[in-house]
Amino acid sequence: MGRRKMRYGLVLGACLAGSMVVTTALSAPLAPAKPEASAARAKAERLAAELVGKMTTEEKLDQLLNTAPAISRLGIPAYNWWTESLHGALGTLPTTNFPEPIGLAASFDTALVQDVATAISTEVRDLHILSRQTGRMGRIGTGLDTWSPNINIFRDPRWGRGQETYGEDPFLTARIGVAFVQGVQGPDPDLPRVIATPKHFAVHSGPESTRHGANVFVSRHDLEDTYLPAFRAAITDGQAGSVMCAYNRIDGQPACASDLLLKDHLRGAWKFNGYVVSDCDAVKDIADNHKYSPDAATAVAAAMRAGVDNECNGATLTDTAGLARPYAEALRRGLITQTDVDQALVRLYSARLRVGDLPGVRAIETRPAPVTSVMTPQHEALALAASEKSLVLLKNDGLLPLKPGLRIAVIGPLADATRVLRGNYSSALSAPPISVLDGLRRAMPSAKIVHAPFGASFTDGDRVPSTALVAPDGKPGLLTRYYNTVEPPPTRFQPGTFGEAVAKMRYQEKPVVTRVEPDIASRSLDLAAVSDHHRVVWTGFLVPPESGTYRLGLGGFNGELKLDGKPFADLRKAGWASLPTLKNIRLEKGHRYPIEIVSESHALSGVNLIWKRVADDAAAELKKAAAQADVLVAVVGLTSDLEAEESPVEVPGFKGGDKTTLDLPPDQQKLLEQAKALGKPLVVVTMNGSPVNLAWAKANASAIVEAWYPGQSGGLAVANVLSGKTNPSGRLPLTFYRSIDDLPPFGDYAMAGRTYRYFTGEPVYPFGFGLSYTRYDYAPVTVEPLPGGADHGVRVTTTVRNVGARPGEEVAQLYLNFPDTPGAPRVALRGFQRVTLKPGEARKVTFTLSPRDLSSVTPDGDRRVAAGAYRVSVGSGQPGTGVPSQSAPFSIETAVALAK
């Protein structure tokens, strides 16, 4: 970043442990300087321009969609820009499933997040290598870019996709987001391992049901203060190679056609030199839903002129032909020029060259089959560590950690659940998740653990594990046969004909591949012999581990289940994101039930065998288990099928993917109250991606652990915390409110009354809160200008000491209180550090605050360091929330304006 001396300065009065005042001039930083092109980037741009210059106009326009077809005559392979990896790579191999991003944010650990992102990028690259080996390049999940991270601000706890974000705070989101971007891309952003794509630029956080046509009004203050800082950091600090624009309008202009966002801020003030991709169908929405443009041609022109280089179109999922026609029409009508098209393609092809998809700048990475660096022991260990660091201890009256040898009853609908651990945007092919019940059995082998099944609930829906499946020859898993179509299907389908065409497809009588798979999951994409359109038939036996009533059926869509030769479930007409279709059935332990599942693989195909053992009389099961126990562990919460992305699910408390209440589902609240009435100590473990009302649990439970959606090792991580093997150290990246009545309307994007920075009520648990099994103390804080002048910022120092009996990790948090100036938040996080301490150990902690860290935003949207009295606080959480904290005042005499 470039800086220059200003004609005016500010005087910083730094209180040094309450002693003398030091004054120094402070200069304002300029806007980020445009990055100088490295030799690699310059070469890539030159080669990209040469390639684009050899293409015909038709070839060029086809490359503007997320599915870029091969151009054989130029030696260009197919490429699909659609790759997802928010907290784990999604593809055709079992990949490592890390905690949901909201859980990663709760770690307050940028080094951890960077390690997680690096592991994800390794697995993304391996999936790309596999696609080269099997000839599957051009399919979703095979590219060397990723549409991650989601750095929108989780401004309202009702938003269903808030789980994908890093929480409600712009500073925390920025720092965690930068760490993720740098981990994904590696040390050289000009030669990235994988290209990161922060999304959804920029003012986007629900409601899900209106996102395709909503017009969001946002003040200049809130835009600069809340919605832009994380994106600015991802670009200027993280050097992200791509950005995804959002669905909605902002002040009347679609985000993917926004001059303010894409021109003024992104490429103007922030000097972004990467490419912009639209969210899927966001360009279509410009005409179809926003009515901002009269037709498709003017819509694509508006997006391209604003700076969108690549359009994700949902119809690419069905291999629809003619999706580039609006660009051809826009060219013909003079709405865009060949120069516009070439500029977009040079950006895209420069990226493909620099990331190693195309030769010329770096070697194309290949590896002998099979790919072996996906879901390694090292990645699995990292997943467990990330889960442990994400857990937040919210209450503990001394019951935790649980003593060895206790009798423990594990209750609640999520006690033995596994699907809930994975969260959304997760691979069904990840390692077998470990439930809390199984985790406790592993972590506490000397304890007597009983399980009380819950009644039927809309949270039900776990995949049948491979341990309950037996192939006809007695091997674990199911016999799986893949059948290609009799006649090769077309590579493209005319608009509106896909459904009819696939319904008429006929399949060969002889399978092209027959093998035993561990479970119900098609692994066709790693089989070169299997075509894109095919039928899969799984046969074998279902073998229950326990006798009882089960809810059994299929999840996903486009599949049929036969049990004992009779039809049992049919998902042929199921829609996207529907809840599983389950029926009650009595199953006996060890009995072999013949099953057959048939599914045709097309766009949006995917079927899972789902079950859940449930109680015939849940209250009786609870009493029976409690009578045998010293303590009750209730695992309750939500699922990412309920709080979700644009979901059709409508059950009490949920609509369109968003929540309509902060309360737990009524059957779960009833369970907690019944458990409390039994007189045994109660531990509540919550799994959710957003704040829930924990007021009752806070008043009645002995301990509360917030687990989020903790990933494949989540149950073991929870058990390690409950047993004391791990000292909890997570902190809340969100405010936990009592009710939606405490909040402004969901669709109102004004920040007044939202998040800890502007909410003036009393939350159940505040942002930044989290307990430990040990105690920490802080020495008085000192504040001083940095050597060389305060234009480089100020230094804040304290000493944190572990005054308890256990080793632990403290998250030292720095908050700033601002002068009484319009636009300033009541308090704001401006620093955090993890500190590992043995009992009695002390460590000096130093924070460096830049002028931007010291700044606030005026009502007109101008960022400045305001003149007046400040107070800095460092401690275990927000000042004034009952946690250890120390503070010191300092003053600034002259205001300084900062760049956007």
- In the chain, the domains with their CATH numbers are 39-355 (3.20.20.300), 391-455+615-741 (3.40.50.1700), 496-612 (2.60.120.260), 774-897 (2.60.40.10)
Helices assigned H by DSSP within 135-252: 170-185, 220-222, 229-236
Q: Which residues of 314-323 are buried (b: 16+ CB within 10 A; e: fewer)?
A: bbbbbbbeeb
CA distance 732 to 393: 9
CA–CA dist 675, 634 (Å, integer): 8
Q: In whole angstroms, what separates CA 794 from the centre of its chain?
A: 33
- Residue 607 has a pLDDT of 86
Catalytic residue (one of 319, 643, 784, 810): 643
> In this predicted structure, what is the pLDDT of residue 7?
26
279 is catalytic: yes
**CA atoms within a 13 Å half-sphere pointing along the CA-CB vector of 834:** 18
Measured CA to CA, the distance from residue 104 to residue 822 in angstroms comes to 33
Helical H segments across 151-295, by residue range: 170-185, 220-222, 229-236, 282-288
Q: Which residues pair with 535 in a beta bridge?
A: 483, 600
Which two tokens mark 114? 């960077």
User: What does each C-alpha distance from 217 to 222, 248, 653, 749, 751 come to in angstroms?
Assistant: 10, 10, 27, 7, 11
Write down the pLDDT at residue 366.
79
**What does the alpha-carbon distance between residue 458 and residue 582 come to, in Å, rounded to a whole number?**
10
Task: Verify whether residue 791 is a known catalytic residue.
Answer: no
Residue 84: count other Cβ atoms within 10 Å of its Cβ: 19
For residue 662, give both structure tokens.
């902060």
Quote the CA–CA distance of 684 and 690 in Å, as a whole number.
16
Strand pairing partners for 871?
817, 889
* Beta bridge partners of residue 849, listed in sequence order: 794
Which run of H or of E encompasses 541?
Answer: strand 534-542
CA separation for the pair 427, 379 (Å, rounded) = 15
Q: Compute the distance between CA of residue 537 and CA of residue 145 in angstroms, rounded to an integer.
A: 33
Rounded CA gap, 638 and 642, in Å? 7
pLDDT of residue 28: 41
- Residue 398 tokens read as 């001394």
Residue 432's pLDDT is: 82
Distances (CA, A) of 76 to 206, 221, 345, 572, 866: 39, 46, 13, 37, 54
Distance between CA atoms of residues 56 and 48, nearest Å: 14
Which residues of the chain register pLDDT less than 50?
1-30
Nearest to 102 by CA among 662, 640, 765: 640
pLDDT digits (tens, 9 = 90+) for 180-198: 999 999 999 999 999 999 9
Q: Position 848: which residue type?
A: T
pLDDT tens track for 685-724 = 999 999 999 999 999 999 999 999 999 999 999 999 999 9
Using alpha carbons only, give the angle 300, 268, 246 rounded to the nearest 5 degrees: 40
The answer for residues whose C-beta is within 8 angstroms of residue 391's C-beta and 6 or more apart is: 106, 705, 706, 707, 708, 710, 717, 718, 721, 726, 728, 730
pLDDT at res. 13: 33
Check 100, 208, 279, 532 and give the catalytic one.
279
